[in-house]
Amino acid sequence: MFEARAAIFGEAGEAIRIEPVRLEAPRADEVLVRIVATGICHTDLLARDGHLPYRRPAVFGHEGSGIVEAVGAAVTGFAPGDPVVVTYRSCGACPNCLDARSAYCEDKRRLNFSGGRADGTSPVFRCDGTALAAAFFGQSSFAERVVVAARALVRLPSDVPVELMGPLGCGFQTGAGAVLNVLKPAPGSALAVIGAGAVGLAAVMAAKTAGAFPIVAVDRDAARLDLALELGASHAVMAEEGALDQIRAIAGRGGVDGAVECVGSAATVRLALEALRMGGTAAVTGAAAGTGDIPIPAATLLYGRTLRGVVQGDSNPPVFIPRLIDLWRQGRFPFDRLVRFFPFDEIEAAFAAAASGKVVKPILRMAVP
Quick one: 118 or 127, whose CB is closer to Zn ion?
118
105 counts as binding Zn ion under rule CB under 5 A: yes
- CB of 94 vs Zn ion, minimal distance in Å: 3
Interface segment toward Zn ion; rule CB under 5 A; list 35-43, 206-214, 240-248, 310-318:
35-43
Quick one: 112 or 281, whose CB is closer to Zn ion?
112
41 counts as binding Zn ion under rule CB under 5 A: yes
Q: Tell me, what DSSP letter sits at residue 48?
A: H
Quick one: 43 or 122, whose CB is closer to Zn ion?
43
Total residues found in the chain within this entry: 369
Which residue in the set 32, 97, 111, 150 belongs to the binding site for Zn ion (CB under 5 A)? 97
d(CA 244, CA 221): 17
202 counts as binding Zn ion under rule CB under 5 A: no
Interface segment toward Zn ion; rule CB under 5 A; list 71-79, 85-93, 123-131, 354-362:
85-93
Q: Which residues sit opposite 148 in a β-bridge?
A: 31
Phi, psi of 249 (to 5 degrees): -70, -40
Quick one: 63 or 163, whose CB is closer to Zn ion?
63
Interface segment toward Zn ion; rule CB under 5 A; list 92-100, 139-147, 322-330, 345-353:
92-100
94 counts as binding Zn ion under rule CB under 5 A: yes
| Interface with Zn ion in residues 294-323 (CB under 5 A) | none
Quick one: 41 or 133, whose CB is closer to Zn ion?
41
Interface segment toward Zn ion; rule CB under 5 A; list 94-102, 186-194, 200-208, 255-263:
94-102
d(CA 48, CA 59): 10
Say if residue 350 is exposed, middle or buried (CB neighbours under 10 Å; 0-12, 13-18, 19+). buried
DSSP symbols for 62-75:
--EEEEEEEE-TT-
Which residue in the set 91, 204, 236, 263 belongs to the binding site for Zn ion (CB under 5 A)? 91
Interface segment toward Zn ion; rule CB under 5 A; list 18-26, 42-50, 121-129, 247-255:
42-50
Contacts of 17 (CB under 8 A, 6+ apart): 7, 8, 10
Q: Tell me, what DSSP letter sits at residue 27?
A: -
Which residue in the set 32, 150, 170, 176 belongs to the binding site for Zn ion (CB under 5 A)? 170
Quick one: 105 or 256, whose CB is closer to Zn ion?
105
- CB of 62 vs Zn ion, minimal distance in Å: 5
134 counts as binding Zn ion under rule CB under 5 A: no
* Distances in whole angstroms, Cα of residue 79 to Cα of each of 5, 31, 69, 74, 193: 23, 9, 8, 12, 40
Quick one: 91 or 262, whose CB is closer to Zn ion?
91
Interface segment toward Zn ion; rule CB under 5 A; list 78-86, 89-97, 114-122, 232-240:
89-97
DSSP symbols for 209-267:
HTT-SSEEEEES-HHHHHHHHHHT-SEEEESSTTHHHHHHHHH-TTSEEEEEE-S--HH
43 counts as binding Zn ion under rule CB under 5 A: yes
Q: Tell me, what DSSP letter sits at residue 143?
A: B
153 counts as binding Zn ion under rule CB under 5 A: no
d(CA 100, CA 6): 32
Interface segment toward Zn ion; rule CB under 5 A; list 34-42, 222-230, 255-263, 271-279:
34-42
Contacts of 119 (CB under 8 A, 6+ apart): none
Say if residue 369 is exposed, middle or buried (CB neighbours under 10 Å; 0-12, 13-18, 19+). exposed
Q: Tell me, what DSSP letter sits at residue 360?
A: S
Quick one: 63 or 274, whose CB is closer to Zn ion?
63
- CB of 295 vs Zn ion, minimal distance in Å: 27
Q: Is 291 helix (H, G, I), strand (E, B) or coil?
A: coil
Binding site for Zn ion (CB under 5 A): 41, 43, 90-91, 94, 97, 105, 170
